[in-house]
Amino acid sequence: MIRQFRLIAADPTLRLVVAAVLLFGIHAASVAIYQSLIAISIFGISDRFYSFVLLVALFVSVGTSVGVGIVTDQRPSRRIMALAASSFMVLGSALVWLGNSPVFFAVAHMLLLPASGSLFGQLFAVARLASAPLAPQDRDAILTIVRATFAIPFMIVLPLWGMAFDAGLSLLAIYPVVLAVSLSLFALIWRFWPADRNAPWTEQKSGLGFRAAIGEMVAPSVLIRVMLMGAIHSGSAISGVVVGLIFEEASGRGAGDVGLFFGLFVAIEVVVTLSVGQLLRIMPRLWIITSGAGIYALFLALLPILAPTPWVWALVVPAGAGGAMIYALAIGYLQDLMGQRAGAGASLIALQRLSADSLSASIFAVGTWINGYGLVSAMGAGALCLAIAAILWLDRGREA
C-alpha cells in the first residue's frame, strides 16, 4: 500500500478527499452511536416516534444522495453540492445544540443531517475521478485507503467519548464538538475543493435527463447486484443493533463491554482494510468481498452462542477482518456498475444502504417476534450466505 499512499500524497484532490472523509468520520462516529440514546433518554422521544425519525432520515438520505449523484453527472456542480451538504451538517449540528429540544432534534436528524450524508458519496465519486487514470488495482487500493480513513475515528473517537461520559460529561456535549468538526469540513471544502470549470480530473457529463438517469440505475443488471451487496452489508446493520442487546442479556456484560468490543473490532477492521491491497494481487475483488461476507456470517452465527463466555472476545477478529474485506472493495464494485457515471455510481452506495437497512429491519422484526436477539443474529448470518451464493452465481467467476 506504500505506493498508493504516495499517490494520494502527490495528488491535491486525493489529499482533500482523505482529509474530508476523516472529518466526516469523526462526525459520524460521534453522532451515530449515541443519537438513539440522546433521543430517548435525554429528549424523551418515544420508541415509536424515534422509529419514524429513522425511517424519514433513511429516505431523505437516499433521495438526496441519488439526486445529487444524477445532477453532478449532468452538469458541473460538484463543488456547490459539496458545500451545500457540509452546510446542512453545520446547521443540523447547531440546531440540536442551540435548540435543545425534541422538536429541533427531530428536524435535524430527519432532514438536515441525513441530507448532509450525500457528501459521503460525492467524496468517493471525486476519489474515483481523480484516480481514473491509474491502474485498476491502484484505484481499488486508493478507495480502500479512503474507506479506512472513514473508519479510523470510530477506533479513536468512541473510546474518548466513553471516557468523557464516564467522567460525568453530558451526552449533549457531542453536538458543540461536531459543530466545530462540521465548520472545519465546510472550511476545508470552501478552501480546497476545485471549481468545476478548473477541476483537475477529466469527466464526460452524462447528457441524460433525470428519468433516463434513474432508468440506468434501476436496470435489472444493476439493481439486483446493488440489492445483493445490500444484503451483504445488512450484516453490519444487524450487528450494530444486536451486539449491545445480546451483551445486555449475557450475564456480567455491560455498556463498557459493548464499547470495548466495537473499539477492538474497528481497530482490526482498519488494519485489515489497509492490507487489502496485498490481497488484490492474488485474488479477484469479488472473491475478496464474498470471502469477507462469509467470515462476517461466521461472527454473527457464533455471537449469541459465545456472548456469555470469555470466548466472545475472539469474535472481534472475524468481525473486523470480515467487515474490512467487504467495506474496502464494495464501493469500487458498485461504482463500476455505472461505468463512467461517477455521481450515479456513488449514488448506488445510498441504494445499497436502503437495501441493507430494509433487510436488517425485516430480519430484526421477524427474529424478535419468533424467538429473540440470538435468532436475529443467526438469520443475519443466513442472509449473508444466501447473498454470497447469489452474487457469485450471477457474476459466475468474472467481475461485474
The full set of domains in the chain, from first to last, is: 1-135+157-196 (1.20.1250), 207-400 (1.20.1250.20)
178 — pLDDT class (breaks 50, 70, 90)? very high
Q: How would residue 400 be classed by pLDDT, with cut points 50, 70 and 90?
A: very low
Residue 367 has pLDDT above 90, yes or no: no
Average of pLDDT values for 250-270? Answer: 76
Q: What is the pLDDT of residues 275-308, one digit of tens each?
A: 887 787 788 888 899 999 999 999 999 999 998 8
Please write the tens of the pLDDT for every residue from 343-358: 566 677 778 888 888 8
According to DSSP, residue 34 is labeled: T
pLDDT band at 205 (very low <50, low <70, confident <90, very high): low
- When pLDDT is averaged across residues 63-85 and rounded to a whole number, the result is 85
Pull the grid cell for residue 353.
444502504
Is pLDDT at 106 greater than 70 in this prediction? yes
Q: How many CA atoms lie within 13 A of 12 on its CB side?
A: 9
Q: What is the pLDDT of residue 72?
A: 79
What pLDDT score does 16 carry? 95
In the numeric block, which cell numbers belong to residue 170?
Answer: 453530558
Q: Residues with Cβ < 8 Å from 154, sequence gap 6 or more?
A: 25, 28, 29, 262, 263, 266
Helices 255-273, 316-337: inter-axial angle, 10-degree rounding:
50
Burial of 213 (0-12, 13-18, 19+ CB in 10 A): buried
- Residue entry with cell 468520520: 25
Q: What is the pTM of this model?
A: 0.80
pLDDT in tens, 114-125: 999 889 888 988
Rounded Cα gap, residues 338 and 349, in angstroms: 12
pLDDT, mean of residues 333-341: 72
Question: For 15-45, what is each residue's pLDDT tens digit?
Answer: 999 999 999 999 998 887 778 778 877 898 8
Higher confidence at residue 242 or residue 82? 82
Angle 46-52-53 from CA coordinates, rounded to 5°: 90
Pick from 84, 109, 88, 82: nearest CA to 21: 82
Neighbour count for residue 170 (Cβ, 10 Å): 10
**For the chain, what's the residue count?**
400
Q: Which of 377, 148, 388 is nearest to 291 (CA)?
A: 388
The DSSP letter of residue 310 is G
